[in-house]
Amino acid sequence: MIKKLSLIALSLVLTTSCVSKKIYTDLEDKYANLKKENRKLADQNQDLETALNTAENDLARLQKEYDTTVAQRNKLQSDYDATKSNLDNLKASYDALEKNSSASIAENSKKNRELLAQLEAKEQALAAENARLEKLKKELEARSQRVAELENVIASKDAAMTKLKNAISKALTNFEGKGLTVEQRNGKVYVSMENKLLFQSGSWAVGTQGKQAVKQLGDVLADNPEIAILIEGHTDNVPYKGNAQLSGNWDLSAKRATAIVNILRENESINPENLTAAGRGEFAPIASNDTAEGKAQNRRIEVILTPKLDEISKLLNDI
């Protein structure tokens, strides 16, 4: 990652060496924002994975402690039963010896008192262990319930994303084979549209067919208000030289991503707070730039749909 960021910085220096200070500063700001957003998303994903692992480890620890306590309780119960049986035997012996000498009676009385004291101590220990066991049992049940709720929420989110992916695929059926793909990975849905569907070479104006595809995608997204929508613009590695207003591929990819956002914003049912536009230039290729076909695949818009994780975060905080 550090190597990639260094290359990005070097590219910025090379591509901005012939432009004004203002454009250079703007590009630096965009780069810093993109870097911050990327780190934020990576941190959020790592935090969620770490929290879930911690919850599962805590649950396993509580289960082990619960099992140990049950074994201790059972041993105390066994000791208690043995002591009580011994006491009963001594009482019977005491009754039999009561008719004999006073010395025997006194000795049995002392033993009885000792056994009664032992029995009382074991009863108290058993009661304390039972109380501790009950507390552990309740805590284990509560944590198990919260882990089950978390698993249900995650499963529900995955099912919702599968349903969303299927709805998008159905809505965009007419554009299959025209540079559009819909995939589900890592709990997210990725809609990839090659530039041949959206833009003329060197332009960030969306064509008629591309607008139709984006609007049909927007109709589906409007029915899913709990989805975060990230639009990423990508280019191949051929330096952009088409317009003096743009500093290079990164600037072009950002303008193309923004153009898609603007089309989606025409749908008033889509919350603008759910939309994010990002330009990634040529720095996230999905194919080799050594062939014309690979370059065509790299020149694309990716719409990344992510479920909001507020509910999952709350459950993790409660565990």
Numbered ranges of CATH 1.10.287 in the chain: 58-157
281, 250 in Cβ contact below 8 A?
yes
Secondary-structure breakdown of the chain: helix, strand, coil percentages, each rounded to the nearest 5: 70, 10, 20
Q: How confident is the model at residue 221 (pLDDT cuts 50, 70, 90)?
A: very high
CA distance 178 to 190: 16
d(CA 266, CA 283): 30
Q: What pLDDT sits at residue 194?
A: 93
**308 — pLDDT class (breaks 50, 70, 90):** confident
Query: What are the pLDDT digits (tens) for 123-156?
Result: 888 888 888 888 888 877 777 777 777 777 778 8
In this structure, which CATH number among 3.40.50, 3.30.450, 1.20.1630, 1.10.287 belongs to the domain 58-157?
1.10.287
Give the CA distances from residue 254 to residues 215, 276, 303, in Å, rounded to whole numbers and listed in that order.
19, 11, 13
Q: What percent of the chain is modeled with pLDDT above 90?
A: 38
- For 152-187, give the DSSP string: HHHHHHHHHHHHHHHHHHHHTGGGBTTTEEEEEETT
- Interval 298-313 mean pLDDT: 82
Confidence of residue 5 (pLDDT cuts 50, 70, 90): very low
Q: Where in the chain is the domain with CATH 3.30.1330.60?
A: 2-55+161-310
Rounded mean pLDDT of 106-123? 84
| β 275-279/227-234 pair status | parallel
Beta-bridge partner residues of 301? 193, 233
Which two tokens mark 317?
Answer: 């905080």
Q: What is the per-residue DSSP string for 223-279? A: T-TTEEEEEEEE--SSPP-S-TT--SHHHHHHHHHHHHHHHHHTSTTS-GGGEEEEE
Nearest to 304 by CA among 171, 192, 167: 192
- Tell me, which fold does domain 2-55+161-310 have in CATH? 60s Ribosomal Protein L30; Chain: A; (3.30.1330)
Helices 310-318 and 102-171 cross at an angle (nearest 10°) of 170
Check: CB of residue 214 under 8 Å from CB of residue 261.
no
157-166, 181-190, 275-284: least confident range: 157-166
Quick one: tokens of 71? 């074994």
DSSP 203: -
**Longest pairwise C-alpha distance within the chain:** 121
